[in-house]
Structure 1
Amino acid sequence: MDQFNRRAFLARASLFGAFVSAGVAFPGALNGSLGAVGRANAQGTGSAVLDAVEEFSLDTMRALCVMVMPGPDEWSRQQGTPREDPGPIEVGGGEFMKDLFDNYLAMGDQLSQPLALGLGEALSDMGIPTEPFLGLSEPDGRRIDQVLGYVYSDRVLPLSLPVALLLNTGALLVNPGSIVGPLGSPFSRLSLGDKCRVLEGIEGPVPQLISIIDGALPVPLRGSASGFLRFAGGILLQGTAFGVYSEQNNFDRATRTVTPRPVPWDLTGFRPTGLVDGHPEFIGYYQNRTEVPADA
């Protein structure tokens, strides 16, 4: 995993300037996937910038989901594994993962905010511009960490954001050319093989990646990077598989029914004749017993 080396990354940083100065366009509205980014550039308002940053996180989560279950979508095509069958985009896999990180996995704002701002600062120090990384063209030239600090100065920072920043930092370490291209984040532009290299570096965790994160954190939080990487590496693919292969997107809590038939059930051949209400053998007591002796 030599590609996760700060010095090597700094040497590669000149590629970013070459891509931008060569006039490589950032397709911010490909298939409408970056509409929020376009609005942020046009309006420059806090809410529009927030929408763009949130869209950046969601785009990254969608790119993660197609690693587990590809489909006919543009994220699967970009990683080189399209399928005709419906995939995680159709079942809301990206939204599930974002909601999982933001609302169900505990990590206090006192850690998630420094992690996000620290990663943003590290990216900025390495010469990564706000545009095209976040797709935001700020008139006053604010850095990535400054943009994030501005957006979340009076809001709780969602955990999905530092996770998305981590994945995209890894994407740039593996393939600096992913700074530009289709879709809404560098991680989304990687091949499946390169995505696996990013996950390998996180699950390791690779010492160089730890140093990049720790070096950007304030002193009281130094040493938190390895724990964060172990946490992220342990939940990324497992949580994704749970989300995209479950029926959570089709479960109606009011009627306690699953409708329509979930896509993963068809992909796996689960319950080909539909739901069952149980087996007759389990109605009442087993073998008509009415009691169990104490010494049984």
Structure 2
Amino acid sequence: MDPVSRRTFLSRASMFGALVSAGTLLPLAPWSLPRASAQGGTLMDSVEAFSLDTMRGICVMVMPGPDPWSRQQGTPRTDPGPVEVGGGEFMKDLFDNYLAMGDQLARPLALGLGEALSDLGVRAEPFLGLEEEEGRRIDEILGYVYSDRVLPLSLPVALLFNFGALLAAPTSIAGPLGSPFSRLSLTDKFRVLEAIEGPVPELLSVIDRSLPVPLRASASGFLRFAGGILLQGTAFGVYSEMNAYDPATGVVEPRPVSWDLTHYRPDGLVDGHDEFIGYFQDRTEVPADA
């Protein structure tokens, strides 16, 4: 895979701007995810659905399944995948409730990325899946939605991946599913990760410009963290039993999908091996000179 160079980054940004100016980007397809306002929801519902859709598009990179996100990236499988077991919800919850980054960091990151997208000519209506054109910039809508709420960390991460998606494939602004990143092929998704973990200087400047002064120049660390934890977190989260384990009863129910994929416990409970019971050769201590 060719690296995403500075020249490539700039040329794709220019290409995207040209497509927007020429009006050649199509509106969202009618079979994309239901928009929140069409379902009687709110702007926040649309933004949250946008973040969740992005997380699903990331999860299927690690563990494809029979779902639309896997089909869109070109790697469908008949076995169940992360969408069926709530992998996107798991990753969104991980970022929003367990990873340590306060609102003083998440808010400027999200608003800064929203401003950068708006400066490229991206309209909020197709990008966030709103029912009607709000007439406001992406950063203005995000500021309004979360004016009196803590901004979830999954949102700036989703914005970051979708910013990269528009540079990797400008026409991903329109199409099925609910976010540009989810519309990419698997190859283009890897290009986005490469640009984030690399990272390209222009992407660094967007993040640095968004952060408070004491934290500027730390953008590369955030980008590498975001790119790494998503794939690793998906693998650990989806392949573990945590979502099926009931701590009150000590029972794992229903049977985790990962057990079937790995043929784990094919004949019921596994009692273990005698060799692992007690101490090796009945030893209870190890001499200092051993």
The TM-score, its normalising length taken from structure 1, stands at: 0.88
Q: Which of the residues 93, 100, 105 maps onto 2:99? A: 105
Pairs aligned (count):
285
In 1, Cα distance between the equivalents of 2:198 and 2:20? 27
Q: Residue 127 and residue 216 in structure 1: after superposition, are their counterparts in 2 closer, same or farther (change >3 A)? A: farther
In 2, Cα distance between the equivalents of 1:242 and 1:287? 35
* CA offset digits 1:137-185 (Å, max 9, x no partner): 5565111001100111111111100100000000001000000000000
- Secondary structure at the aligned position of 1:13 is classed as helix
Tell me the amino acid that sits aligned with residue 14 of structure 1: A
In the TM superposition, what is the alpha-carbon distance from 1:221 to its structure 2 partner?
Answer: 4.2
* CA offset digits 1:60-97 (Å, max 9, x no partner): 00000000111100000100111111111111110111
Match of 1:76 in 2: 70
Runs (4+) off by over 6 Å? none
Q: Percentage identity across aligned positions?
A: 69
Q: Residue 197 and residue 54 in structure 1: after superposition, are their counterparts in 2 closer, same or farther (change >3 A)? A: same
* CA offset digits 1:223-275 (Å, max 9, x no partner): 23212102112212111111121122211122112122211111122222233
Q: Which runs of 5 or more residues in structure 2 are unaligned?
A: none
In the TM superposition, what is the alpha-carbon distance from 1:25 to its structure 2 partner?
Answer: 3.2
Counterparts in 2 of 1:38-49, with a 5 A limit?
A: 38-39=38-39, 48-49=42-43
Q: Which of the residues 245, 248, 269 maps onto 1:251? A: 245
Tell me the amino acid that sits aligned with residue 15 of structure 1: L
In the TM superposition, what is the alpha-carbon distance from 1:212 to its structure 2 partner?
Answer: 2.6
Tell me the amino acid that sits aligned with residue 27 of structure 2: A
Match of 1:156 in 2: 150
In 2, Cα distance between the equivalents of 1:183 and 1:217? 31
In the TM superposition, what is the alpha-carbon distance from 1:105 to its structure 2 partner?
Answer: 0.8
In the TM superposition, what is the alpha-carbon distance from 1:288 to its structure 2 partner?
Answer: 5.1
In 1, Cα distance between the equivalents of 2:142 and 2:228? 26
Counterparts in 2 of 1:212-223, with a 5 A limit?
A: 212-217=206-211, 219-223=213-217
The TM-score, its normalising length taken from structure 2, stands at: 0.89
**More displaced 10-residue stretch of structure 1: 224-233 or 187-196:** 224-233
Counterparts in 2 of 1:12-31, with a 5 A limit?
A: 12-18=16-22, 21=23, 24-27=26-29, 30=32
Q: Residue 292 and residue 7 in structure 1: after superposition, are their counterparts in 2 closer, same or farther (change >3 A)? A: closer
**More displaced 10-residue stretch of structure 1: 217-226 or 180-189:** 217-226
Match of 1:136 in 2: 130
**CA-atom RMSD in angstroms:** 2.3
Q: Residue 147 and residue 292 in structure 1: after superposition, are their counterparts in 2 closer, same or farther (change >3 A)? A: same
